[in-house]
Copies of this chain bind each other. A is one copy, B any other.
Amino acid sequence: MIRFDCDYVEGAHPAILERMTETNMEQTAGYGEDAYCESARQKIRAACGAPDAAVHFLVGGTQANLTVIAAALRPHQGVLCAATGHINVHETGAVEAAGHKVLGLPHTDGRITAAQVAAYVESHYADSAFEHIAQPGMVYISHPTEFGTLYSLKELEALSAVCRERGLPLFLDGARLGYGLAAGDVTLGDLARLCDVFYIGGTKCGALFGEAVVITDPALQKDFRYHIKQRGGMLAKGRLLGIQFDALFTDDRYRRVTAGAVEQALRVREAFARRGVEMYIDSPTNQQFPILTRAQRAWLERDFALSHWQTLDGGRDVMRVCTSWATREENLQKLLAAIAAMPEG
């Protein structure tokens, strides 16, 4: 069985494991205060063109999301996001456990718009009972979204402008950011300029684990390490995160490994298109969502693990096919061949 069901089925890019092995018996300070973390922070600041940004390394995405959101909001505030946002559907109520309502908005392929945010805020304060309603306190977006889609630079600029006008911090979940940078027109520099806080996903983009949280808003920078510790996210051997991000931001590795996966995903998309398979979502990144008949699905699942996303009326299934930094060309070839040979739709 070859897995294309998600992008965290292997370990880490070999260069990372090598660096871990080389440095294994070195003695360093704990809790992210070692030289490897510092080096990684500097490389990330440079890559973002943000010399004053705070950079913190957390182990995983849910942890990053709940820590950032809990640190940013006052108790009566909620966080606006697409109803399909990861924080709203796949984190077991972590944001609510930290005391805050998730304010889900209707989405377009996982995205929300500046106009929606503006309208929501306006409507909130227009309600005579507004103090009886959770106050919109920040905006969360994911890029790529949970559907693999991207914000264009223009869309992101509009969101950022609305957020600044309304005093709402803009938080971008970049669990799959590498694939987004490879596929879209938004750069790390744009994110540092337009977001108040975002993170650069490691877990799904070449690392064993780890998310690099970049905070440009000075108010949110203050005391952030307290929040990390309180939420259980301060890794004792913090250097493990520093070593990984240092390796990912050396020799352009973060860009290279994710760009390859996007190129592979587009070949998968083409292979499906050649067979007349419709895509549920038009995704430009490493996640693809073909709509398959039961026979097609069964055919592919004999040899490949895919992820079941949704069943449509009429019995066809939306499946997710993921490539990643670790996808081997030989495995991809097998998948492409199987698609070419699968039953008619």
Chain A positions within 8 Å of B, measured between CB atoms, are 2-3, 6, 8-12, 14, 17, 20-21, 23-30, 59-64, 66-67, 70-71, 74-76, 78, 89-94, 96-102, 128-129, 131-135, 203-204, 208-209, 223, 225-227, 229-237, 240, 308, 326
Q: Assess whether A237 is in contact with B133, with CB atoms less than 8 Å apart.
A: no
When A75-B230, A90-B133, A131-B92 are in contact, do A27 and B12 touch as well, CB less than 8 Å?
Answer: no
Q: Are A2 and B17 in contact (CB under 8 A)?
A: no
Interface centre among A74, A203, A223 (most CB of B within 10 A): A74
Q: Are B21 and A17 in contact (CB under 8 A)?
A: yes
Closest Cβ neighbor of A229 among chain B residues = B92
- Most chain B C-beta atoms within 10 Å of own C-beta, residue among A6, A67, A208: A208
Given contacts A90-B132, A135-B223, contact A8 B236 (CB under 8 A): yes
Closest CB in chain B relative to A86 CB, distance in Å: 9
Contact B8 A237 (CB under 8 A): yes
Is A59 in contact with B235, judged by CB distance below 8 angstroms?
yes
Our pick among B20, B59, B97, B226 for the contact of A92 (Cβ within 8 Å) is: B226
Which single member of B90, B132, B227 contacts A75 (CB below 8 Å)? B227
A226–B10 Cα distance when bound, in Å, is 24
B78 and A96 contacting across the interface, CB-CB below 8 Å: yes
- Tell me if B28 and A134 are in contact (CB < 8 A): no
Q: Which residue of B lies closest to A233 (CB)?
A: B232
For residue A94, which residues in chain B have a CB less than 8 angstroms away from its CB?
229-232
Residues of B within 8 A of A93 (CB): 76, 78, 99-101, 134, 230
- Could you write out 11 A-B pairs with CB less than 8 Å apart? A9-B28, A11-B23, A17-B17, A17-B24, A89-B133, A93-B101, A94-B231, A94-B232, A96-B99, A98-B99, A204-B236
B232 touches A62 (CB 8 A): yes
**Contact, CB under 8 Å: B60 / A226:** no
A187 to B64, CA, bound (A): 37
Known: A9-B27, A223-B76. Contact between A92 and B17, CB under 8 A? no
Instruction: Check A97–B231 contact: CB distance below 8 A.
Output: yes
**In contact, A235 and B209 (Cβ under 8 angstroms):** yes
A235 vs B210: C-alpha distance in the bound complex, in angstroms? 10
Judging by beta carbons under 8 Å apart, are A20 and B11 in contact?
A: yes
A70 to chain B, nearest CB (A): 5
A240 — which chain B residues lie within 8 A by C-beta?
Answer: 11, 208-209
User: How far, in whole Å, are A94 and B97 apart by their CA atoms in the complex?
Assistant: 12
Tell me the complex Cα distance, A102–B134, Å.
Answer: 13
Question: In the complex, what residue of chain B is closest to A99 when comparing beta carbons?
Answer: B97
Determine the chain B residues whose CB is within 8 A of the CB of A133 once the complex forms. Answer: 89-90, 92
Residues of B within 8 A of A208 (CB): 20, 237, 240
- B11 adjacent to A237 (CB under 8 Å): yes
Report which residue of A231, A234, A240 has the largest number of chain B beta carbons within 10 angstroms of its beta carbon. A231
Contact A24 B11 (CB under 8 A): yes
Interchain nearest-CB distance for A245 vs B (Å)? 16
Chain B residues contacting A99 (CB-CB under 8 Å) are 93, 96-99
A74 contacts B17, C-beta separation under 8 Å: no
